[in-house]
């Protein structure tokens, strides 16, 4: 005969002994049902069982979904419906800054304050949790500030409701942070724009540096710079470019003479070109056509003794040829009139000088005669 025995499972449930929503640091007591009899209990949070929580009561202090498994001695068990527990987090401190003018009073957190300080006040928020308010109280004196501003005419500077265009000191009262007075003194400096001009002359193929530009073409150039007051400085450059000059010379010289152009001297016939520095500092090209003509060869003859008594003479004779004149020198000084002959009546060294009447080239004879005139005694 088969005997069937039925076993009755317990009906598990949870009773919260208080609010299931509370502030951090609080808790709620959960009571399992049935709570009496030969039952065992196992508590779970978010489906995860607690290892050591086997009593019929459980203190919950964390947010989560709580269940309890109730088991009877007959081996039957039941799992309760979930109970949601919400733990409110601690709100962050509310930090505020409040400005108070000198002489004012602030009522906060059941106290009055008229000095700068930091006040910590714990209040209760809408959830019933503690809320920390940190108040930084700043008692502001009247602020006095001096500022300096530079502008350039014709600009203006807005100070309060006024546009200022003249240098000077201006004072105005403003409302500063916190609603307190702020007295501002403005030192306004109005600078003036300036202008200048310069004229520069360079040679062709030269260049002139003007504010970063290398210029080589004649003209007027402008640039805007900044002067000592920080305003515009208009600089005008007038650039002149001088061209090299060219001149031609035709010269005739006698042989053994030279003709110089600058630092170069020439002694032979030819065409020469030299580049000098002109009066304007630029190249001056000189083209020289030089002709070198020969000198006549001076010489003379004499007959008789070169030593004689006063009252006598020595005749010097030359044959210079056509177009050539002859003059005579004694001790380097011209004596007598030009002519092809000369009577020497004084002691000295005599030479003949031949001059080409056309080219004016002359030659002094290398030949000389020393004449000695003795004085007569009676």
Domain residue limits at 21: 13-88
**Is pLDDT larger for residue 280 or for residue 189?**
189
Q: How many domains does the chain have?
A: 6
Write down the mean pLDDT value for the chain: 87
Q: Are residues 18 and 84 in the same domain?
A: yes
Q: Are residues 102 and 128 in the same domain?
A: yes
Residue 8 lies in a domain: no
Q: Are residues 222 and 263 in the same domain?
A: no
Hey, how many other C-beta atoms are within 10 angstroms of the C-beta on 82? 16
Whether the pLDDT of residue 90 is over 70: the answer is: yes
Whether pTM exceeds 0.75 = no
Place of tokens 């005694």: 377
Residue 336 lies in a domain: yes
Residue 4 lies in a domain: no
Give the alpha-carbon dihedral of 254, 259, 265, 268, to 10 degrees: -40
Whether the pLDDT of residue 166 is over 50: the answer is: yes
Q: Are residues 136 and 151 in the same domain?
A: no
Residue 200 lies in a domain: yes
Residue 2 lies in a domain: no
Q: Are residues 369 and 306 in the same domain?
A: yes
Q: Are residues 166 and 214 in the same domain?
A: no
pLDDT tier, 176 (very low <50, low <70, confident <90, very high otherwise): low
Looking at the chain, the whole-number percentage of residues with pLDDT higher than 90 is 36
Q: Are residues 345 and 314 in the same domain?
A: yes
pLDDT tier, 160 (very low <50, low <70, confident <90, very high otherwise): confident
Residue 1 lies in a domain: no
Q: Name which of 89, 79, 83, 91 is nearest 20 in CA terms.
A: 83
The domain that contains 72 carries what CATH number? 2.60.40.10
* Opening angle at CA 331, ends 325 and 335, nearest 5: 45
pLDDT digits (tens, 9 = 90+) for 50-79: 988 888 899 999 999 999 999 888 878 889
Q: Are residues 168 and 210 in the same domain?
A: no
Residue 311 lies in a domain: yes
- CA 72 to CA 371: how far, in whole Å? 178
Whether the pLDDT of residue 17 is over 80: the answer is: yes
Q: What is the mean pLDDT of residues 326-354?
A: 94
> Could you please report the per-residue DSSP string of 40-56?
EEEEEETTEE-SS--SS
* Residues shown for the chain: 378
- CA 238 to CA 219: how far, in whole Å? 6
Q: Report pLDDT for 4.
A: 41
Q: Are residues 83 and 25 in the same domain?
A: yes
pLDDT tier, 1 (very low <50, low <70, confident <90, very high otherwise): very low
Q: Are residues 368 and 346 in the same domain?
A: yes
Q: Are residues 326 and 359 in the same domain?
A: yes
pLDDT tier, 377 (very low <50, low <70, confident <90, very high otherwise): low
**Per-residue tokens: 188:** 């306004």
Q: Are residues 108 and 126 in the same domain?
A: yes
Q: Report pLDDT for 370.
A: 96
- In order of 52, 150, 177, 181, the CA distances from 163 in angstroms are 82, 14, 24, 22
Domain boundary among 54, 73, 88: 88
pLDDT digits (tens, 9 = 90+) for 216-260: 888 899 988 888 888 988 899 998 888 888 889 999 999 888 999
Q: Answer for the pair 30, 58: CB distance below 8 angstroms, yes or no.
A: yes
Domain boundary among 129, 158, 191: 191
Residue 330 lies in a domain: yes
């Amino acid at each position: 005969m088969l005997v069937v025995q039925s076993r009755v499972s317990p009906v598990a449930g949870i009773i919260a002994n208080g609010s299931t929503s509370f502030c951090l640091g609080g808790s709620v007591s959960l009571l399992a049902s049935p709570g009496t009899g030969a039952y065992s209990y196992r508590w779970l949070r978010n489906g995860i069982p607690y290892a050591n929580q086997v009593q019929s009561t459980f203190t919950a202090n964390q947010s989560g979904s709580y269940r309890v498994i109730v088991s009877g001695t007959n081996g039957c068990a039941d799992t309760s419906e979930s109970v949601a527990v919400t733990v409110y987090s601690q709100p962050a401190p509310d930090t505020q800054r409040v400005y108070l003018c000198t002489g004012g009073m602030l009522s906060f957190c059941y106290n009055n304050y008229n000095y700068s300080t930091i006040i910590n006040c714990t209040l209760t928020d809408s959830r019933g949790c503690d809320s920390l308010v940190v108040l930084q109280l700043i008692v502001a004196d009247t602020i006095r500030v001096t500022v300096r501003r530079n502008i350039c005419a014709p600009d203006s500077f807005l100070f309060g409701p006024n546009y200022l265009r003249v240098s000077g000191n201006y004072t105005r009262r403003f409302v500063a942070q916190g609603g307190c007075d702020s007295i501002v003194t403005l030192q306004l400096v109005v600078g003036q724009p300036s202008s200048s001009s310069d004229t520069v002359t360079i040679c062709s193929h030269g260049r002139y540096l003007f504010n970063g530009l290398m210029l080589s073409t004649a003209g007027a150039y402008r640039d805007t710079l900044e002067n000592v007051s920080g305003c515009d400085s208009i600089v005008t450059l007038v650039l002149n470019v001088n061209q090299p000059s060219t001149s031609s010379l035709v010269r005739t010289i006698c042989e053994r003479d030279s003709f110089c152009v600058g630092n170069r001297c020439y002694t032979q016939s030819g065409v020469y070109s030299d580049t000098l520095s002109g009066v304007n500092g630029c190249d001056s090209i000189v083209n020289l056509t030089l002709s070198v003509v020969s000198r006549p060869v001076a010489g003379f003859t004499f007959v008789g003794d070169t030593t004689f008594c006063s009252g006598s003479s020595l005749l010097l004779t030359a044959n210079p040829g056509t177009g050539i004149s002859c003059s005579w020198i004694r001790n380097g000084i011209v004596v007598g009139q030009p002519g092809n002959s000369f009577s020497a009546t004084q002691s000295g060294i005599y030479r003949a000088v031949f001059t080409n009447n056309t080219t004016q080239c002359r030659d002094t004879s290398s030949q000389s005669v020393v004449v000695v005139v003795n004085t007569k005694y009676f």
